[in-house]
Homo-oligomer: A and B are copies of this chain.
Amino acid sequence: MAKLPVIQTSAMACCTPIAQTPLDTAAATDLARMFKALGDPVRLRILSRITSAPDGEICVCDITGGDIDVSGPTISHHLRVLREAGLIEGERRGTWVYYRPVAESLTRLGALLGT
């Protein structure tokens, strides 16, 4: 698992705030996948652990052993959802797997909502 796959489509409605332009179907589908990935409390907590990590990345073992009380496989499942949504990316280094946020994706979503 040297490079984990990240889904990125071309129809990424990029920088236009939602308040200015109605979304077409392709852009809406694309964005919905990212928002849906954020639409789970466990994933949101996992993501906040990743984004708030001091080194900019975090070991899966630090998530599993933390205060998020779901099983290891479930953590892995949620990491996959976040990864396939393009919100995080992961890399194996030796024994451990490290995840870090994809800043562009997060700020893009933020820009879409904010003013």
Out of B19, B22, B36, B47, name the residue touching A18 (CB < 8 Å).
B47
Residue pair B114, A106 in contact (C-beta under 8 Å): yes
The 8 A CB mask of A34-53 against B (1 = contact, 0 = none) is 01111111111101110110
How many chain copies does the complex carry? 2
22 A-B pairs with CB atoms under 8 Å apart are A18-B47, A18-B48, A18-B51, A19-B51, A19-B52, A19-B101, A22-B45, A22-B48, A22-B49, A23-B45, A23-B48, A31-B41, A32-B39, A35-B35, A36-B38, A36-B39, A38-B39, A109-B110, A110-B111, A110-B112, A110-B115, A113-B113
Give the residue name and chain of the B residue nearest to A26 (CB). Answer: B41
